[in-house]
Structure 1
Amino acid sequence: MLLQGLKPRIFNRLNKFGACWVAELPMVLWNLRTTPNWAIGYTPFFMVYGSEAVLPTDLDYGAPRIRAYNEQGAKASHQDAMDQLDEAHDITLHHSAKYQQALRRYHNRWVRDRAFNIRDLVLRLVQSNKDRHKLSPP
Structure 2
Amino acid sequence: MKIVNKGSAVWSGGLKDGRGAISTGSGALDAYPYGFAARFEGQKGSNPEELIGAAHAACFTMALSGQLDGAGLKADKMETSAKVTLEKLESGFAITAVALSLTAKIPGATDAQFQELAAKAKANCPVSKVLNAEISLDAVLEA
TM-score by length of 1: 0.30
> Which has more helix, going by share of residues?
1
In the superposition, the TM-score normalised over structure 2's length comes to 0.29
Name the structure, 1 or 2, with higher relative contact order (CA <8 Å, separation 6+): 1
Greater Cα radius of gyration, structure 1 or 2: 1
Which is richer in strand? 2
